[in-house]
Amino acid sequence: MSYTALARKWRPRRFEELTGQEHVLQALSNALATNRVHHAFLFTGTRGVGKTTIARILAKCLNCETGLGPTPCGECATCREIDEGRFVDLIEVDAASRTKVDDTRELLDNVQYAPTRGRYKVYLIDEVHMLSTHSFNALLKTLEEPPPHVKFLLATTDPQKLPVTVLSRCLQFNLKRLSVSLIAERIKTVLDAEGVPYDAAAVRLVAEAADGSMRDGLSLLDQLLAFGGGKVAEAEARTMLATVDRKQVAQLARLLAQLEPAALLEFVASLDEWAPDYGDVLDALATLLVRVALKQTMPAYEGDELHPVELLAELAAQLSPEDVQLFYQTAILGRRDLVWAPDPRTGFEMTVLRMIAFRPNATPEGSAAAAVPAQVRVGAATPRSTAASPIASAPSSANGVPQSSASAVAPEGASAAPGVDPARWAETLAALEVGGAARQLAANCVFSSRSGNLVRLTLDPSQSLLRTSALIDKLAQALSRHLGESLRVEVELGSSPVDSPARAEQRAVSEGLDAARRTLEDDSTVRGFKEKFGATLNPDSVKPV
Residue 413 has pLDDT above 50, yes or no: no
The single-letter code of the amino acid at 441 is L
What is the per-residue pLDDT across 159-208, written as a single tens digit (0 to 9) for each?
999 999 999 999 999 999 999 899 999 999 999 999 999 999 899 989 98
Q: Find which of 40-54, 255-269, 364-378 is predicted with most confidence, using mean pLDDT.
A: 40-54
Sign, Cα dihedral of 141, 145, 151, 156: positive
Q: Which residues of 1-30 are buried (b: 16+ CB within 10 A; e: fewer)?
A: eeeeebbeebbbbebeebbbbeebbeebbe
Name the CATH architecture for the domain at 246-357. Up-down Bundle (1.20)
Residues 44 and 174 sit within 8 Å (Cβ to Cβ): yes
Judged by phi (left if over 0) then psi (alpha if -120 to 50, else beta), residue 67 lies in: left
- Check residue 243 and report its DSSP letter: P
What's the rounded Cα separation, in Å, for the pair 200 and 42?
A: 36
| Cβ contact 480:486 at 8 Å | yes
Residue 395, pLDDT score = 41
Identify whether the C-beta of residue 112 lies closer than 8 Å to the C-beta of residue 147: yes
415 neighbors 423 (Cβ within 8 angstroms) = no
**Dist CA 241 CA 217 (whole Å):** 12
Average pLDDT, the chain: 82
The three state secondary structure string of 100-115 is CHHHHHHHHCCCCCCC
CB 352 within 8 A of CB 282: no
| pLDDT of 532 strictly over 80 | no
Q: What confidence score (pLDDT) does residue 267 get? A: 87
| β-pair partners for 447 | 457
Q: Break the chain into its structural domains and give their ranges.
A: 6-174, 180-241, 246-357, 415-498, 503-541
Between 343 and 380, name the one with better pLDDT: 343
* Residue 496 · residue 446 · CB < 8 Å: yes
Q: Is the pLDDT of residue 293 over 90?
A: yes
Give me the residues paired with residue 458 across strands: 446, 492
Summarize the confidence of residues 266-293 as an average pLDDT: 88
Q: How many CA atoms lie within 13 A of 295 on its CB side?
A: 25
pLDDT tens per residue across span 396-405: 433 343 333 3
Q: Name the architecture of domain 6-174.
A: 3-Layer(aba) Sandwich (3.40)
pLDDT at 418 over 50: no
Read off the pLDDT band of 24 (50, 70, 90): very high
Q: Which tens digits make up the pLDDT trace of 476-522?
A: 888 888 888 888 888 888 887 777 888 888 888 888 887 887 787 77
Cα 100 from Cα 135, distance rounded (Å): 6
* 132, pLDDT greater than 90: no
- Count CB atoms within 10 A of the CB of residue 86: 9
On whether the CB atoms of residues 513 and 505 are closer than 8 A, the answer is no
Select from 391, 424, 392, 440 the least CA-distant residue to 498. 424
Do the beta carbons of residue 303 and residue 309 sit within 8 Å?
Answer: yes
Q: Is 152 helix (H, G, I), strand (E, B) or coil?
A: strand
Contact (CB, 8 A) for 98 and 123: no
Greater confidence, 34 or 103?
34
Contact between residue 44 and residue 252 where contact means Cβ atoms under 8 Å apart: no
CATH architecture for residues 180-241: Orthogonal Bundle (1.10)
Residue 367 has pLDDT above 70, yes or no: no
Which residue type does 48 have? G
Most confident region among 34-43, 252-261, 389-398 by mean pLDDT? 34-43
Question: Cα dihedral sign for 71, 72, 74, 76?
Answer: positive
**CATH (one of 3.40.50.2000, 3.40.1410.10, 3.30.300.150, 3.40.50.740) for 415-498:** 3.30.300.150
* Topology agreement, domain 180-241 and domain 246-357: no
Average confidence (pLDDT) over 524-543: 74
Q: What is the pLDDT of residues 465-479, one digit of tens each?
A: 888 888 888 888 888
| Helix orientation angle between 501-522 and 524-533, rounded to the nearest 10 degrees | 60
